[in-house]
Structure 1
Amino acid sequence: MTADTSLLHDLPAHTVRRAVVSAMANNVYLITSKTTGAQILIDAADDLPAINALLQDAAGDADAPTSLAMIATTHQHWDHVRALSALCAQTGVATAAGEDDIAGITEQAGVHTDLALVHGGTLSVAGIELETVHLRGHTPGSMAYVLAPAADVSAIIFSGDSLFPGGVGNTEEDPARFASLLNDVEERLFNVYPEDTLVLPGHGDGTTLGTERPSLPQWRERGW
């Protein structure tokens, strides 16, 4: 993998890179602080060599030496944690996830979660601060991580499997789970962040809140 293929966003204070891994085309995201070199990796989904290549791609993204400081998991599903144990063993860095998915992550990956996250909090390392948004429905503890907007820079939502271009995540045809997820997505994302906010999902390509907003009534009517 080369820097040209992994670099998604070159922002004034950060870079955002992506590796696409496994037959399920999981997205692994890496945020690097340009000033400190600290990094947060979102979803160690699979393929440790690809993740290491992603880290190598970002080695020149900062004024200081780069160093992985945190692994954040969006939710407990097995396809998002297959490389978590190996990456933790290799790096020894701290892990974070929504508190209601921690038991599931332990079951799926055999990894202890160091930081239990809740709605309305922050996840911070030197030079990076992510807002934590609990989106209930795809899993009980699904979290979105938001790199908040700065002057002339759009916010970025790392939405896991809770929000995609064209709809919310899979709720297994459960009306209560679907209503919970769509309500949270609408109230905690669409009603909070600007139209130009980028959405980077757990699979596939990104979108913006403004692109998806007109479809919210249709999603609610169709029930998925």
Structure 2
Amino acid sequence: MTYHGIVHVGGPPAVHELAQLIVTKIAVGPKAANCYLLRDRDSGEQVLIDAADDAPALIQLVNGSLAAVVTTHRHRDHWRALAEVAAATGAVTMAGAYDAGAIDVPTAVPLLDGDEIRLGRSLLTAMHLAGDAPGAVALLYDDPKGHPHLFTGDCLSGSEPHGPAPGELLTGALAGLPDETWVYPARGNDSTLGAERAGLGV
């Protein structure tokens, strides 16, 4: 099935099957926050990006153990289910080092720019991209058999875009990423960096 990245609260998840990594996208809660379950094909290890508003739905989606839950930023609607999901799955909690203190659930691993998260043979790299939260992080998966994939939280958030400033897309942390980089936002439909740059006129 072709991946389209369009999900609705209460509807089925969308599954993006990459060569090494399987990305499952689901929307939960009254604000339709996107959550992403990443599973390494070889090891079966899983990481959840943002445990938003619906713990039962997320626990059902995980259907087992989690290596980690990564919270992209401090806003409560993106981590309201974190404590329950972490307790049910045994996941290690991770968040940006500068936002960790503003999240009620203790962060076991604070992430700095450039920190790596190993998921079987797959590798995620944290990028500090302060948008509407000063310590927000994005996660980059540079697919060795394809283009990069970027999980942006609210930094580039579909129908509700927040920072980075337009210049960041050209000269900041995202400048070195190609236009075909796939963007998975915290809300709304997926995009690419090329489409985001074109939309900003940069």
The TM-score range, normalised by the shorter chain, is 0.7 to 0.9
1:61 maps to what in 2? none
After superposition, what is the alpha-carbon deviation per residue over 1:91-113, rounded to whole angstroms, capped at 9, x for unaligned?
Answer: 2221111100011112xxxx110
Q: Distance in 2 between matches of 1:165 and 1:25?
A: 12
Percent identity between the aligned chains?
35
- Normalization by structure 2: what TM-score? 0.86
Per-residue deviation at 1:183?
A: 4.1
The number of residue pairs the alignment matches comes to 192
Q: Counterparts of 1:73-222 in structure 2 under 5 Å?
A: 73-106=71-104, 111-151=105-145, 153-165=146-158, 168-169=161-162, 181-186=165-170, 187-189=172-174, 191-217=175-201
Verify: 1:34 aligned to 2:41, yes or no: yes
Q: Does structure 1 retain, via aligned residues, the 8 Å contact 2:128–2:136?
A: yes
1:60 maps to what in 2? none
1:172 maps to what in 2? none
- Aligned to 2:99, the other structure's residue is in SS state helix
- Aligned to 1:146, the other structure's residue is in SS state strand
Q: Which blocks of at least 5 consecutive residues in structure 1 are unaligned?
A: 57-65, 170-177, 219-224
Q: Give me the CA root mean square deviation.
A: 2.2
The verdict on how the C-alpha distance between 1:197 and 1:97 changes in structure 2, with shifts beyond 3 A counting, is same
Q: Does structure 2 retain, via aligned residues, the 8 Å contact 1:38–1:128?
A: no
Structure with the larger helix share: 1
Instruction: Report runs of 4+ in structure 1 exceeding 6 Å deviation.
Output: none
Verify: 1:46 aligned to 2:79, yes or no: no
Q: Distance in 2 between matches of 1:47 and 1:54?
A: 11
Q: Which amino acid aligns with 1:188?
A: A
Q: Distance in 1 between matches of 2:185 and 2:173?
A: 16
- Aligned to 2:131, the other structure's residue is in SS state coil
